[in-house]
Structure 1
Amino acid sequence: MPLTRNPIEIPPDAAKAFMRDLRAYHNTKDGDARTAIAARQAEQLSKHVRSSVKLAEVKELFERMKGQS
């Protein structure tokens, strides 16, 4: 049986901030800046889900969403 996940719902302001950070992440090549951006979003997303969101998960999400901003 495949594992399914329910989509998370986040407030519009948080979604806009996520997309802003997604663009900023892909517009910089500075590794420290990318880590700071992903860390900020991990903290913010953790507020809207029942478990903590890991930095590596946000970085993977940003990579998968490249070109969608």
Structure 2
Amino acid sequence: MASDKPVVIYPPDQEGGRRVRVDGKLLGRAYSVRDVAAFMQEAGLEGWDEMDVIRSGLIEWRGGGPEAWAH
């Protein structure tokens, strides 16, 4: 299933990590909104923080929103 948004956060895995995909490239696993913000900064969105991640329309959250980290 393809997303029309450039960032996809996948459902939490057994360890509570969520895969992060930006522009089709898997960047790694996030364990918090802070981790997602760090990935966004690495992708070129400098200055992004947790609130930017929570409010962003660029992100498709699968398996729960920014508050879901437990499997």
TM-score scaled by length of structure 1: 0.39
More helix by share: 1
Bigger-Rg structure (1/2): 1
Of structures 1 and 2, the one scoring higher in RCO (CA 8 A, sep 6+) is 2
More strand by share: 2
